Structure 1
Amino acid sequence: MDPIDIELASRAAQLDDRPLPKRVGLIILATDHTTEVDFQRLVANDRIGIYSTRIPYANPVTPDNLRAMQPSLTAGAALILPDEPLDVVMYSCTSASVVIGDAQVEAAIKSAKPSAAVVTPTAASVSALKALEAKRISILTPYTVETSRPMANYFLGRGLDIIRFTCLGLTDDREMARIAPSEIVKFAIEAMDPQSDALFISCTAVRGAGVAAEIEHVIGKPVVTSNLATAWQCLRLCGDSASRPLLGRLMTLPGDRP
């Protein structure tokens, strides 16, 4: 067979600065089933790209196992589009952000991506609750009492009053991801104290973002979930201020800007 003639184009291709104008990096647990799905639905669009990496994590969900992820944060961030800047990096673990600390998470990520804004579910949720003018809150977590207690202290330490705190006692984040949305709604209704200004549903594994608006309709108060809060903050940091009331009250608020 005669070789096929392959011609080199007469000119070099003109390149865009980026395939998409904005880049959001996700650092997620090796066992995570939920964050990427939520962020593709809530954040990704024709202006914002989602780029993720996974870091080692070993169940059960305990403060010690959560804290053990800290050494992996810098290397994980470096693997997201190596040598290219990101606009935002989000570390997708609420309970680990509590035990490691927001500032320590930010420092570890900025070691690899110094120009990126850093988002944690904990700090984003506090910002969301304050944007909703919520001072007294109810909290629902899938964790054990042991893992929930540091979270209670975290929110108390940021000036929020906890009226009711309910936990489900699970120790495996893969099981947390398997809680049916209909079950989340039922537990949320039970967990909400009528004297609270808002309900916070913790854990990036829990599929609460998709039913937040439904829960709000029943309880008559705002609902903040870990993934809804981080998606909201990432969108606003990327300059996307679109109001999306069907996703819940939080997604109608302006929030943080670049």
Structure 2
Amino acid sequence: MSDAPVPRALDLPLGFDAEPVGRRIGLVVLATDHTTEPDFARMVAAPDVGVYVARIAYANPTTPENLRAMQPDLARGAALLLPEERLDAICYSCTSASVVIGDDAVAAAIREGKPGVPVVTPTRAAVEALRAHGARRIAILTPYTIETSASLAPYFEGRGFSVAGVSCLGLEDDRQMARLDGPTLIAAARAALAPGAQALFVSCTALRSAALAAEMEAALGLPVVTSNLATAWACARLVGETPRVDARLAALPLPDPTAFA
């Protein structure tokens, strides 16, 4: 016979808060992602700002075909984020897939799983961030292959920017991209700066570049926008917060919050 105590129900009045956390941001990230969650934990999460994550299947190498293959899983991933409860924003954390699939198609798929929520993509957030800086002519750095990088310039040109140059590092696996060290990323930023550029966009949510943005800005003398810096800034602004990062972008308002509606 066990001597373990039998549980007893406490006869106490129970008080409940209206919500466990007042402001809530959802992340839909790749199964292979090492970087987005730590970046959002550092820059966005707070006692009254919760960040909730769903992962979706992804298979390397990073090619347009593999990126496009994620689209059917977006709705399912979004539906797993606090089912039947409110979110203030959802970020889909893949830059190259946002270009290949399209911002509007990404937003539509996510809203299929979680209706009525502002949807932030890295590309749309980067557009707003570059506009907040007043930059019209930009340089772009990616860790991707030439094939995967080729869609970035047309994307930004289609949104009114002039692209001074696109530089890439030739990697195919986002897990390798996440392992690129700080000195390499700083050197790549220097090498990617093209004549006449007013800002540098560092593409890819796998890169640990958001924490280096201020150092890159000091090295280049120009604003630097990275994928995770842009999405963290946009999500923070959408819930009335300022992201905790030293980059110039942190102090700037979101030019058009309806861009994500």
Whether these two folds match at TM > 0.5 is: yes
Corresponding residue SS for 2:218: helix
Query: Do the aligned partners of residues 3 and 163 (structure 1) sit closer, same or farther apart at CA in structure 2, a change above 3 Å counting?
Result: closer
**Which residue number in structure 2 is paired with residue 254 of structure 1?**
253
**Which residue number in structure 2 is paired with residue 151 of structure 1?**
152
**1:63-74 counterparts in 2 under 5 A?**
63-74=64-75
**1:149-228 counterparts in 2 under 5 A?**
149-228=150-229
CA contact (8 A) 1:239 1:257 kept: no
**Number of residues paired by the alignment?**
256
Corresponding residue SS for 1:247: coil
Q: Work out the CA distance in 2 between the residues paired with 1:18 and 1:237.
A: 18
**1:54-133 counterparts in 2 under 5 A?**
54-133=55-134
Which one-letter code corresponds to 2:57 in the other structure?
Answer: P
CA contact (8 A) 2:214 2:247 kept: yes
**Which residue number in structure 1 is paired with residue 236 of structure 2?**
235
**1:11-30 counterparts in 2 under 5 A?**
11-30=12-31
Which string of whole-angstrom CA distances, capped at 9 and with x for unpartnered residues, describes residues 39-88 of structure 1? 10011011111110110000000001000000000000011112212111
4+ residue segments displaced more than 6 Å: none
Corresponding residue SS for 1:77: helix
CA contact (8 A) 1:238 1:257 kept: no
**Which residue number in structure 2 is paired with residue 48 of structure 1?**
49
Q: How many angstroms does 1:194 deviate by?
A: 4.3
How much is the aligned-residue C-alpha RMSD, in angstroms?
1.5
Which one-letter code corresponds to 2:253 in the other structure?
Answer: P
Which string of whole-angstrom CA distances, capped at 9 and with x for unpartnered residues, describes residues 185-217 of structure 1? 111011112411100000000111010000101
Which one-letter code corresponds to 1:203 in the other structure?
Answer: C
Identity, in percent, stands at 55
CA contact (8 A) 1:67 1:99 kept: yes
Which one-letter code corresponds to 1:199 in the other structure?
Answer: L
Q: Work out the CA distance in 1 between the residues paired with 2:109 and 2:6.
A: 52
Q: How many angstroms does 1:9 deviate by?
A: 2.5
Q: Work out the CA distance in 2 between the residues paired with 1:2 and 1:175.
A: 54
Q: Work out the CA distance in 2 between the residues paired with 1:224 and 1:2.
A: 62
Which string of whole-angstrom CA distances, capped at 9 and with x for unpartnered residues, describes residues 202-257 of structure 1? 000011101000010111100000000000000000111x375x521111101155
Q: How many angstroms does 1:116 deviate by?
A: 1.3
CA contact (8 A) 1:243 1:253 kept: no
Which string of whole-angstrom CA distances, capped at 9 and with x for unpartnered residues, describes residues 168-200 of structure 1? 111110100010012101110111124111000
Corresponding residue SS for 1:111: helix
CA contact (8 A) 2:44 2:243 kept: no
5+ residue gaps, structure 2: none
**Which residue number in structure 1 is paired with residue 39 of structure 2?**
38
CA contact (8 A) 1:87 1:115 kept: no
Q: Work out the CA distance in 2 between the residues paired with 1:24 and 1:191.
A: 32
CA contact (8 A) 1:124 1:230 kept: yes
Please, what TM-score do these two structures have when normalized by structure 1? 0.95
